[in-house]
């Protein structure tokens, strides 16, 4: 079963007796997963597992669910914020689904968005933290997808919640997409609701109310507005240049529905849409099929995410121009809350420097 079919199954989109029985079976497994998560968290809470402190402040960006919540554009936003405040930062990540000896797609996108910020990928993020400080003179560390990685102490825990699917269909893995119960939000210092422009105000109000059950901190709300088009050669173009043209749109990300919705919001015409699994490694067969698919759709251009573009590394599909949608990060609400939390880290970093001096 591929990733799309699995999401359709657990979301309830797939009808019939068989899928209903399958959902029931998966629901029986979720308590066992929950038990494992709770025992692990209890181990850290009661000191049974060692938590290592880095020499400099650490800010973690994570989420309660699997799949895309917008961590990459938000991580880029944070890195730029810290660089604008004259702090030397470094990204730390596990390197999920990276090919042997190479960095993964998220690291390649962050390299484009933040070329002056080093990025260390290593399952041992405690070791990476030491390397970041000793070899790259990092003053602040941004731990990507770090909410469940508790071996490394963090000075600021930021949790992202996707407004489109905030609670992963309401169940823990494998019945849903929740990595841990919602009560995990109690560990968060800042909660960020992402893609708030893709839901109505009533839906947002409901999510705020649900979050308030676990933390008294007002959530920050952000959107990821498309900024421009970019291709593998680094050339850019205005998004308006695609208006009125039939587009072949495809992606291999954690939240393909959000990408499709963003394109439709721009008023662009999707002639054909295709999903691949998250972090899909495009091979020669894929490229051959995509060229034929784009031609069959009579597409004037193909449109992907930056995560897809860095893996495809081509400017066209047999003459059909291939563009990626470059997105930014906009704070819609709670800017004061976020700035206050980040400024505390800046002060902490400055205090560390003074102590060393």
Known binding-site positions: 65-72
Alpha-carbon distance of 350 to 346, in angstroms, equals 6
The phi and psi torsions of 24 (rounded to 5 degrees) equal -65, -40
CB 126 within 8 A of CB 94: no
294 near 270, Cβ under 8 Å?
A: no
Mode of pairing for the β-strands spanning 226-230 and 320-327: antiparallel
Spatial distance between the Cα atoms of 60 and 157, rounded to a whole number of angstroms: 5
> Which positions make up the binding site for ATP?
65-72
- β-pairing verdict for 316-317 and 89-93: unpaired
Strand order in the sheet with 58-63: 119-121, 89-93, 140-144, 58-63, 156-162, 190-194, 220-223, 330-333
């Amino acid at each position: 079963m591929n990733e799309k079919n699995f999401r359709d199954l657990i979301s309830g989109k797939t009808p019939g007796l068989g899928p209903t029985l399958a959902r029931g079976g998966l629901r029986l497994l979720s308590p066992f997963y929950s038990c494992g998560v709770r025992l692990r968290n209890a181990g850290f809470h009661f000191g049974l597992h060692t938590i290592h402190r880095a020499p400099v402040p650490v800010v973690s960006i994570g989420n309660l669910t699997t799949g895309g919540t917008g961590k990459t554009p938000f991580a880029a936003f944070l890195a730029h914020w810290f660089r604008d405040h004259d702090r030397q930062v470094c990204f730390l990540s596990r390197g999920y689904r990276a090919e042997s000896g190479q960095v993964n797609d998220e690291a390649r996108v962050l390299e484009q968005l933040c070329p002056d910020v080093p990025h260390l990928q290593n399952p041992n993020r405690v070791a990476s933290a030491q390397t970041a400080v000793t070899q790259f003179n990092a003053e602040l560390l941004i731990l990507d997808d770090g909410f469940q990685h508790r071996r490394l102490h963090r000075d600021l825990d930021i949790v992202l919640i996707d407004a489109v699917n905030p609670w992963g269909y309401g169940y823990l893995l494998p019945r849903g997409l929740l990595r841990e119960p919602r009560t995990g939000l109690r560990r968060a210092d800042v909660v960020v609701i992402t893609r708030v422009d893709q839901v109505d105000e009533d839906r947002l109000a409901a999510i705020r109310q649900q979050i308030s059950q676990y933390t008294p901190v007002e959530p920050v709300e952000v959107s990821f507005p498309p900024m421009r088009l970019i291709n593998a050669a680094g050339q850019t173009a205005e998004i308006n240049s695609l208006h009125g043209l039939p587009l072949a749109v495809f992606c291999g990300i954690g939240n393909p529905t959000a990408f499709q919705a963003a394109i439709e919001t721009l008023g662009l015409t999707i002639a054909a849409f295709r999903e691949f699994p998250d972090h899909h490694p495009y091979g020669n067969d894929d490229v051959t099929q995509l060229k034929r698919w784009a031609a069959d759709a009579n597409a004037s251009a193909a449109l992907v995410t930056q995560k897809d573009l860095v893996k495809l590394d081509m400017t066209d599909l047999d003459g059909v121009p291939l563009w990626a949608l470059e997105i930014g990060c906009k704070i819609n609400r709670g800017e004061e809350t976020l700035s206050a939390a980040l400024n505390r880290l800046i002060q902490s970093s400055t205090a560390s420097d003074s102590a060393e001096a």
